């Protein structure tokens, strides 16, 4: 519904947007988003501490890419960097974030404002803290529309209702008049998706969009996200700790550990044969792969603190396969259809899921 009604009304805008980017001498790559050597550090009382280390990946147009990793591995920080939402003070970022041919890292705040929400949409984990409690959801979506398109108040409202209908909310006109508090968690997340997609962004970043939801509602939301993404050609950067969701919804995935990308490749082949011991360890520790009541395998040790990162491979101290070569810092190397940050990637035979 969104795409049909949307294309009818947004044609002039879409053409205009197209012209702008054409005139800007785009670099002709198929990548919509190209993150190169992104490093982020924060400063506290004890000095600078690096949280992201040379994160590099690309998202192609219309692609669904999943980022998986445990808490503190830097997946959300990566998303915030792309959105230009890092704090201004006490934060240092290096590297390039090339979106649609333009380096976002070089754009100022006013430039970012035109990208954020319009070209790149974002859905967060907790919809209640992302929605303003004192405005109706219809007003909040209409505000997004008016920020990016020169339309009348009335048309913005109409588009808000259409957007709510497109995320399959029954009675969208009524829903638009509601305040966030009177909606359920699943409904709020639908509203967030409607708001993120109303401007038909080229990229949608979804950071744990279903983590706060029940599994049956999660299934509804995922189905909706993927379907809308496909229909509007929006690329999806999907951040989660749930490997199952990545397996079922993404074409490509990235595993992150301790602020670094450790593996990057097609979901199917990573699941069948992970190349990095950390990815394999994550798959291995999931219950359901072993006989009920048997012992689960776990990754020994803990994630190192950002101040005490090992000099060599960051996963080395916890890795069962660590060798002498792992004492050296690891770089992301191309192996088969992937990129892996492991010197032993090609001589290890690690078990995948479902063997």
Residues at the contact surface with another protein, assessed by CB under 8 A = 70-71, 184, 186-187, 214-220, 222-223, 241-249, 268, 271-272, 281-283, 285-288, 290, 292-293, 295-299, 302, 352-354
Task: Pick the closer one to another protein by CB: 3 or 297.
Answer: 297
C-alpha distances (whole Å) from 244 to each of 58, 77, 118, 183, 219 are 22, 22, 30, 27, 12
Least CB distance to another protein at residue 100 (A) = 31
Element (H, E) at 196: helix 185-197
Nearest-angstrom CA–CA distance, 19 and 30: 18
Task: Pick the closer one to another protein by CB: 215 or 324.
Answer: 215
Task: Pick the closer one to another protein by CB: 7 or 272.
Answer: 272
Least CB distance to another protein at residue 73 (A) = 9
Least CB distance to another protein at residue 287 (A) = 4
Least CB distance to another protein at residue 191 (A) = 14
* 290, two tokens: 């072993």
In terms of residues, how long is the chain?
A: 355
Least CB distance to another protein at residue 244 (A) = 3
Task: Pick the closer one to another protein by CB: 6 or 66.
Answer: 66
C-alpha distances (whole Å) from 23 to each of 18, 26, 62 are 9, 8, 22
Least CB distance to another protein at residue 254 (A) = 15
With contact defined as beta carbons under 8 Å apart, do 276 and 352 qualify?
no
Largest CA distance in the chain: 67
Task: Pick the closer one to another protein by CB: 83 or 282.
Answer: 282
Strands (E), 5-77: 31-44, 47-60, 64-68
CA atoms within 13 A on the CB side of 117: 17
Q: How far apart are the first and last CA of the chain?
A: 42
Partnered with residue 213 across adjacent β-strands are: none
Least CB distance to another protein at residue 231 (A) = 17
Residue whose C-alpha is closest to residue 143's, from 102, 104, 176:
176
Task: Pick the closer one to another protein by CB: 117 or 186.
Answer: 186
Task: Pick the closer one to another protein by CB: 214 or 328.
Answer: 214
Task: Pick the closer one to another protein by CB: 150 or 354.
Answer: 354
Q: Determine the distance from the C-alpha atom of residue 253 to the mean position of all C-alpha atoms in its chain, rounded to a whole number.
A: 10
Least CB distance to another protein at residue 248 (A) = 5
Least CB distance to another protein at residue 94 (A) = 28
The sign of the dihedral angle between the CA atoms of 334, 339, 345, 350 is negative
Nearest-angstrom CA–CA distance, 280 and 325: 20
Q: Determine the distance from the C-alpha atom of residue 238 to the mean position of all C-alpha atoms in its chain, rounded to a whole number.
A: 4
Task: Pick the closer one to another protein by CB: 143 or 268.
Answer: 268
- Residue 15 burial (10 A CB sphere; 0-12, 13-18, 19+): exposed
């Amino acid at each position: 519904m969104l795409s049909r009604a949307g294309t009818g009304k947004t044609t002039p805008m879409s053409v205009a947007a197209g012209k702008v980017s054409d005139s800007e001498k785009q670099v002709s790559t198929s990548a919509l988003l190209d993150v190169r050597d992104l490093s982020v550090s924060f400063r506290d009382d004890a000095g600078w501490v690096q949280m992201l280390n040379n994160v590099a990946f690309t998202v192609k147009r219309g692609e669904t890419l999943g980022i998986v990793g445990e808490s503190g591995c830097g997946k959300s920080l990566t998303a915030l960097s792309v959105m230009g939402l890092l704090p201004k003070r006490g934060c240092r970022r290096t590297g390039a974030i090339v979106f649609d041919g333009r380096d976002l890292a070089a754009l100022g705040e006013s430039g970012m404002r035109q990208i954020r929400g319009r070209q790149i949409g974002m859905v967060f984990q907790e919809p209640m803290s992302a929605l303003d409690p004192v405005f109706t959801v219809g007003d909040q979506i209409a505000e997004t529309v008016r920020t990016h398109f020169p339309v009348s108040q009335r048309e913005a409202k109409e588009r808000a209702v259409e957007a709510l209908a497109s995320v399959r909310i029954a009675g969208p006109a009524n829903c638009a008049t509601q305040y966030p508090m009177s909606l359920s968690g699943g409904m709020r997340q639908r509203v967030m998706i409607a708001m993120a997609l109303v401007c038909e962004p080229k990229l949608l970043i979804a950071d744990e969009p279903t983590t706060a939801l029940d599994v049956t509602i999660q299934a509804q939301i995922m189905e909706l996200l993927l379907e809308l993404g496909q229909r509007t050609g929006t690329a999806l950067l999907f951040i989660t700790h749930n490997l199952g969701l990545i397996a079922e919804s993404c074409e490509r995935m990235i595993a992150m550990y301790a602020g670094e990308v450790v593996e990057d490749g097609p979901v199917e082949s990573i699941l069948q044969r992970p190349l990095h011991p950390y990815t394999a360890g994550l798959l291995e520790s999931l219950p359901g792969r072993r006989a009920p009541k048997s012992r689960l395998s776990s990754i020994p040790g803990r994630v190192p603190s950002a101040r005490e990162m090992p000099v060599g491979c960051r996963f080395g101290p916890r890795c069962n396969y660590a060798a002498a070569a792992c004492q050296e810092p690891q770089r992301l190397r191309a192996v088969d259809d992937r990129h892996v940050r492991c010197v032993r990637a090609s001589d290890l035979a690690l078990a995948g899921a479902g063997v």
